[in-house]
Amino acid sequence: MAKKRVKIDAASCIMCGACVGSYPDDFKFSDEGPAAPVTGEADEDAVGVCPVGAISVEE
């Protein structure tokens, strides 16, 4: 699947680890706690792995 520019709404992130566990090359936990994109790009399917919808594709 193609990589897309993504962002994470840190206020919505519940730190469940679904994105980090499913896409470890694309996401990590930030020093502040919430998940963050490693490079700013992620597999577009990663959007659907977040149970609270905190991941979105930037237009």
What is the CATH classification number for the domain harbouring 46? 3.30.70.20
Torsion from C-alpha of 8, 24, 16, 38, nearest 10 degrees: -30
Does position 2 have pLDDT exceeding 90, yes or no? no
Q: What is the pTM of this model?
A: 0.88
Region 25-36: what's the mean pLDDT? 92
Length of the chain: 59
Could you identify the residue written with the tokens 């520019």?
A: 5
As a whole number of angstroms, the distance between CA 1 and CA 21 comes to 17
47-56 pLDDT, tens digit per residue, is 999 999 999 9
Domain count of the chain? 1
Range of the domain at 47: 3-57
